[in-house]
């Protein structure tokens, strides 16, 4: 396992971190023992950050049954604010209530990292003022060591880095084969501000998984994005390579971030993700796949409020 500086937190985070949405049965039933086996295999392989959320089904409750067996140097990170697919509560009272419930479920007095979950779905002004003030209060009270926010939107992630005092920021889907605008647009700002940058959705929220691409049923992807994913997947198939493995290779080796979250309850998939960190990239194949990449102007998907995708606010910054 490779370990990287995590902003100014003083923590060296594993390049691959463990995501718990599948463990929480967010995408379908998973036997508890299978979830347990995947988690501890990830830790055995060197992962030292476990990323969860109040939104991830029963992930926190399941983790709470296992926290007594976690090594002391493994970080637990949870999130608040996303209540359902289209339901959010970033009010100070809601954020506090969520963390207190999470701590009870996780059987912890504090978590290492507490983040606001998917803020690009709501008006940002109150989040940047009231919600951030509550994060700071919770940190000061010792209920969390560090604070952060997660976003899909690239412009919103930029605003988080430039306008808020977060320790960590997580962005979904922009550090991938299909779109690595995270490296160009977020990494330099994060480095300058001392913020630990997390990447997630290395297979572009399933867009680079053949079964999803073939069905063309990705519910938040644009047609142009799905078409690009299809071209990339076909090129990989013609070359006889596993597109998901190459996507993980790229995310783990080329994207400029501290850690990439990989969520799975398959021990095989966990092991393959760690293998992708060290396996040499075939540059010829990579160049061919990257020829199908989307330009920055063509976002992979549009989620959240349209105004949170607006770059105009950056004028003069």
CATH of the domain at 48: 3.20.20.100
Q: What's the domain count of the chain?
A: 1
Q: Which secondary structure element, helix H or strand E, spans residue 208, and what is its range? A: none
Let me know if residue 237 belongs to a domain: no
For the chain, the 3-state helix, strand and coil shares in percent, each to the nearest 5, are 45, 15, 40
Q: What are the backbone dihedrals phi and psi of residue 225, each rounded to the nearest 5 degrees, phi first?
A: -70, -45
Residue 123's Cβ-side half-sphere holds a number of Cα atoms within 13 Å equal to 5
- Nearest of 137, 192, 185, 194 to residue 158 by alpha carbon: 185
Let me know if residue 162 belongs to a domain: yes
Q: What average pLDDT is seen over the chain? A: 92
CA trace torsion 101, 104, 107, 110 (10° rounding)? 60
Classify strands 196-200 and 12-14 as parallel, antiparallel or unpaired: unpaired
Residue 167's Cβ-side half-sphere holds a number of Cα atoms within 13 Å equal to 18
Q: Would the pLDDT of 221 be above 80?
A: no
Classify strands 259-263 and 196-200 as parallel, antiparallel or unpaired: parallel
**Highest-confidence segment of 63-72, 79-88, 92-101:** 92-101
Let me know if residue 302 belongs to a domain: no
Let me know if residue 35 belongs to a domain: yes
What gap in Å lies between CA 266 and CA 69, rounded to an integer? Answer: 20
Place of tokens 């978590």: 111
Which pLDDT band, with edges at 50, 70 and 90, does 225 fall under? confident
Structural domain range at position 45: 3-204+250-282
Q: Would the pLDDT of 215 be above 70?
A: no
Q: Is 250 a catalytic residue?
A: no
pLDDT digits (tens, 9 = 90+) for 7-52: 999 999 999 999 999 999 988 899 999 999 999 999 999 999 999 9
Give the pLDDT of residue 110. 97
Burial degree of 87 (CB within 10 A; 0-12, 13-18, 19+):
exposed
What gap in Å lies between CA 151 and CA 158, rounded to an integer? Answer: 10
What gap in Å lies between CA 264 and CA 129, rounded to an integer? Answer: 35
Q: Would the pLDDT of 284 be above 90?
A: yes
The structure's pTM equals: 0.93
Alpha helices by DSSP H, listed for the chain, are 32-44, 59-64, 92-106, 124-126, 132-140, 154-163, 181, 187-193, 210-215, 223-239, 243-253, 267-278, 283-290
Question: Six-digit token pair at 284?
Answer: 């010829």
Average pLDDT over residues 242-264: 96
| Residue 258 CB coordination number (10 Å) | 25
Let me know if residue 17 belongs to a domain: yes
- Nearest of 252, 305, 201, 270 to residue 13 by alpha carbon: 252
Q: What are the backbone dihedrals phi and psi of residue 176, each rounded to the nearest 5 degrees, phi first?
A: -140, 175
pLDDT digits (tens, 9 = 90+) for 132-165: 999 999 999 999 999 999 999 999 999 999 999 9
Let me know if residue 58 belongs to a domain: yes
Q: Would the pLDDT of 315 be above 60?
A: no
Let me know if residue 215 belongs to a domain: no
Which pLDDT band, with edges at 50, 70 and 90, does 211 fall under? low
Per the residue annotation, which of 3, 55, 56, 250 is the catalytic one? 56
Let me know if residue 18 belongs to a domain: yes
Three-point CA angle 109, 111, 116, nearest 5°: 130
Tell me the sheet residues that pair with 148.
115, 168
Give the pLDDT of residue 210. 61
């Amino acid at each position: 396992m490779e370990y990287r500086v995590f902003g100014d937190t003083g923590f060296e985070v594993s390049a691959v971190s463990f995501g718990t949405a599948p463990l929480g049965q967010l995408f379908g039933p998973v036997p508890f023992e299978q979830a347990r086996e995947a988690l501890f295999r990830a830790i055995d392989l060197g992962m030292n950050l476990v990323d969860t959320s109040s939104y991830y089904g029963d992930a926190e409750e399941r983790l709470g049954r296992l926290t007594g067996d976690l090594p002391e140097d493994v970080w637990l990170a949870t999130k608040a604010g996303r209540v359902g697919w289209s339901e959010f509560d970033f009010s100070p009272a809601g954020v506090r209530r969520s963390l207190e419930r999470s701590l009870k479920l996780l059987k912890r007095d504090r978590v290492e990292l507490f983040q606001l979950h998917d803020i690009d779905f709501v008006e940002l002004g109150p989040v940047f003022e009231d919600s951030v003030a509550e994060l700071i209060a919770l940190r000061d009270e010792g209920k969390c060591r560090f604070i952060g926010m997660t976003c899909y939107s690239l412009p919103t992630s930029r605003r988080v880095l430039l306008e808020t005092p977060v320790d960590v920021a997580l962005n979904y889907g922009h550090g991938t084969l299909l779109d690595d605008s995270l490296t160009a647009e977020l990494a330099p700002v994060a480095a300058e501000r001392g913020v630990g940058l997390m990447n997630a959705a290395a297979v572009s929220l399933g867009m680079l998984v053949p079964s999803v691409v073939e069905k063309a049923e990705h519910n938040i992807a644009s047609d142009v994005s799905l078409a690009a994913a299809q071209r990339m997947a076909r090129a990989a198939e013609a070359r006889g390579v596993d597109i998901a493995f190459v996507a993980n290779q790229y995310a783990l080796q080329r994207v400029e971030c501290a850690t990439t979250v990989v969520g799975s309850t398959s021990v095989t998939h966990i092991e393959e993700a760690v293998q992708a960190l060290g396996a040499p990239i075939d540059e010829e194949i990579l160049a061919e796949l990257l020829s199908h990449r989307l330009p920055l102007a063509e976002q992979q998907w549009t989620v959240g409020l349209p105004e949170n995708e607006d770059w105009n606010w950056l004028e003069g910054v």
